[in-house]
């Protein structure tokens, strides 16, 4: 029955596109696959598109479980971020810029590859930013934080450690305080969005674990980071 409904859904989209081909829309197509075996993901998958200018949700697509394909109709003339969410898999996000389109178009190969969640894996949150030597979040961080909220909302059994790191531009003690405060900020934001305390731990490591050279700007930016580590709720 589910497969029949999926087939009817994709057929309906085709009719909508045929009727709207002269309207200011773009038809986006892609696949969501398990990156380990390149097969369709064995879970219920949502693909969420966001308007990057406003941070608001633009639309949600579902995959055809037989082949992992999805498609979605959205207004053109915008820049979108999109992500796939599925229980038991890391969320992954990409972007698509259709600001220069002036007429109906079809865009293929907007594919996403999901990796199964594994114990002890560390994930860097690339788009969380703080003011220099401070724990105040910059506003562009909230899209990334809200994606983490969505990931944890779907994967309710997980336990993660939120870890914050700094460069060595401050002394060791001050770096540790800044990193602890930043971890607190992320932790408290997740709690404020309904994530249960039992799913979260937090720790600031200061400048103890650099991943880049502190002698140049690029290395210092790499070292000023927030990550999360899977510490429970999943098999090895």
- Residue 6: its pLDDT value, please? 52
- Residue 19: its pLDDT value, please? 44
CA distance 20 to 9: 17
The predicted model gives 181-190 an average pLDDT of 98
The predicted model gives 156-185 an average pLDDT of 96
**φ, ψ of residue 166 in degrees (nearest 5):** -130, 170
Q: Where in the chain is the domain with CATH 2.60.40.10?
A: 2-114
**Residue 166 · residue 208 · CB < 8 Å:** no
Q: Within 10 Å of residue 196's Cβ, how many Cβ atoms?
A: 11
Distances (CA, A) of 138 to 3, 143, 218: 44, 11, 19
pTM metric for this prediction:
0.76
The predicted model gives 192-213 an average pLDDT of 96
Chain segment 11-50, per-residue pLDDT in tens: 444 444 444 444 579 999 999 999 999 999 989 999 999 8
Contacts of 57 (CB under 8 A, 6+ apart): 48, 49, 50, 51
**φ, ψ of residue 10 in degrees (nearest 5):** -70, -35
Fold of 2-114: Immunoglobulin-like (2.60.40)
CATH number of the domain at 122-232, please?
3.30.1330.60
- Residue with more model confidence, 140 or 232: 232
């Amino acid at each position: 029955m589910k497969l029949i409904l999926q087939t009817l859904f994709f057929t309906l989209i085709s009719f909508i596109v045929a009727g709207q081909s002269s309207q200011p829309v773009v038809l986006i197509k892609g696949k969501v696959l398990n990156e380990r075996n390149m097969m369709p993901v064995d879970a219920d998958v949502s693909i969420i598109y966001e308007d990057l200018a406003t941070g608001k949700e633009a639309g949600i697509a579902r995959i055809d479980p037989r082949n992992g394909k999805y498609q979605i109709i959205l207004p053109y003339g915008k820049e979108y971020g999109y992500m796939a969410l599925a229980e038991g898999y890391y969320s992954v996000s990409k972007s698509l810029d259709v600001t220069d389109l002036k007429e109906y178009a079809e865009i293929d190969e907007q594919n996403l590859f999901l990796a199964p969640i594994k114990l002890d894996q560390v994930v860097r949150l690339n788009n969380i930013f703080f003011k220099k030597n401070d724990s105040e979040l910059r506003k562009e961080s909230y899209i990334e934080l809200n994606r983490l909220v969505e990931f944890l909302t779907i994967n309710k059994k997980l336990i993660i450690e939120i870890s914050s790191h700094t460069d060595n531009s401050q002394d060791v003690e001050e770096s540790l305080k800044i990193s602890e405060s930043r971890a607190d900020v992320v932790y408290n934001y997740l709690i404020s969005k309904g994530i249960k305390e039992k799913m979260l731990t937090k720790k600031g490591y200061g400048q103890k674990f650099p991943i880049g050279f502190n002698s140049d700007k690029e290395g210092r930016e790499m070292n000023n980071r927030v990550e999360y580590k899977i510490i429970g709720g999943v098999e090895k």
